[in-house]
Amino acid sequence: MNLESLDGRLLFAIPKKGRLYEKCLSILAGADIQFRRHHRLDVCLALNHPIALVFLPASDIPSFVGKGNVDLGITGHDVILEATMQEHVTEVLRLGFGKCALQVQVPESSEIKTVDDLAGKRVVTSFEVLAGEYFDAIDTRLQLSGENKTRIEYVGGSVEAACALGLADGIVDLVESGDTMRAAGLHALATVLDSEAVLIKSTVPKHTHLAPLIGLITSRIAGVIASSKYVVCQYNILRTQLPAATAITPGRRAPTISPLEEENWLAVSSMVEKGKIATIMDRLVAIGAEDIMIFNLDNCRV
């Protein structure tokens, strides 16, 4: 593809592989960004919008958005901090997937029981910046300097094997389910930060004429995320119980309330979080709500 054909289009960076890739494809489909990506091509044009999708390593996306010509991107919150791009990009939306924790880990059989015990020793990581800042603060507090400071060493992959292979006394690595950590005989001592996927844009807009399209795509993605997080709860309630009912189901902004033909009864419709729906229904039953129904959302605007 001739890159000059991208002129005038909104450039949207997507992780080309890894833990965020498949979910990003779902987000694009929900936002109705239609495209065909040809094999081995990392740039493709949307069929129904003036958008070019650029598939990049997640670790590079903050730099392309913050300092390059890319307008929007999806990457991890941890990646932004590791690339020290937080002043150059703005996190527009937290996307609620790709959740993980950057944690300090040591072998379960190790005599190291706290991060203070690990200070001054060898730490291997793919996150040199974040691990360095974390242990610099500990070294300063413990008054470690010179050769006594914690030694941070970088490896690009298989970080969890560093202790077993004699390269490190501890590691700093991302943990999702914890299965890999436990399989490697490691356990966590502390969490450096919690992370998840985020939608980002440049802090300084590059293409002002694209601002309406950026707003449109952001709104659509926010709707996709909300539809995966919320369901619609509908029920009937006596008017006297409405204050108690709306306290249970306040909605994202406010519930929708409609009168029924039967005197003193109201119909209430409200968005509630999926993870809380069982408890919410129990509480509604306890105050006399009837005909409680739950509807899944395919998409929405919030």
The pLDDT tens digits of the residues spanning 131-183 come to 999 999 999 999 998 889 999 999 988 899 999 999 999 999 999 888 889 98
d(CA 153, CA 156) in angstroms, rounded, equals 10
Same fold, 100-195 and 230-296: no
Identify the CATH homologous superfamily for domain 100-195. Answer: Periplasmic binding protein-like II (3.40.190.10)
- From the centroid of its chain, how far is CA 208? 26
Let me know if 141 is exposed, middle or buried by CB neighbors in 10 A (0-12, 13-18, 19+). Answer: exposed
Confidence label for 267 from pLDDT (cuts 50, 70 and 90): very high
User: Which has the higher per-residue pLDDT, 187 or 302?
Assistant: 187
Region of 98 (left: φ > 0; alpha: ψ -120 to 50; beta: rest) is: left
Let me know if 161 is exposed, middle or buried by CB neighbors in 10 A (0-12, 13-18, 19+). Answer: middle
Answer yes or no: is pLDDT of 5 > 90. Answer: no
pLDDT at 17: 85
pLDDT at 238: 96
- What 54-59 contacts at long range (C-beta under 8 Å, 24+ apart), as own/partner pairs, is 54/11, 54/12, 54/13, 54/14, 55/13, 55/14, 55/15, 55/16, 56/13, 56/14, 56/15, 56/16, 57/15, 57/16, 57/17, 58/15, 58/18, 58/20, 59/83
pLDDT at 207: 87
Identify the CATH homologous superfamily for domain 3-97+197-206. Answer: Periplasmic binding protein-like II (3.40.190.10)
Confidence label for 108 from pLDDT (cuts 50, 70 and 90): very high
Answer yes or no: is pLDDT of 2 > 80. Answer: no
Pairing mode, strands 122-125 and 170-175:
parallel
Pairing mode, strands 122-125 and 151-154:
parallel
pLDDT tens-digit series, residues 45-104: 999 999 999 999 999 999 999 999 999 999 999 999 999 999 999 999 999 999 999 999
- Positive or negative, the Cα torsion across 185, 189, 193, 194? positive
pLDDT at 8: 81
Q: What token pair was written down for 39? A: 């094999």
Confidence label for 4 from pLDDT (cuts 50, 70 and 90): low
Answer yes or no: is pLDDT of 3 > 90. Answer: no
Q: Domain 230-296 maps to which CATH number in 3.20.20.370, 3.40.50.970, 3.30.70.120, 3.90.105.10? A: 3.30.70.120
pLDDT, average across residues 245-267 = 93
Q: What token pair was written down for 103? A: 């944690």
- In the chain, where the domains are located: 3-97+197-206, 100-195, 230-296
CA angle (194 as vertex; 28, 175 as ends), nearest 5: 85
d(CA 99, CA 106) in angstroms, rounded, equals 22
Instruction: Write the CA distances from 53 to 211, 218, 235, integer angstroms.
Output: 17, 15, 43
pLDDT at 62: 96
d(CA 289, CA 267) in angstroms, rounded, equals 10
pLDDT tens-digit series, residues 184-239: 999 999 999 999 999 999 999 888 899 999 999 999 999 999 999 999 999 999 99
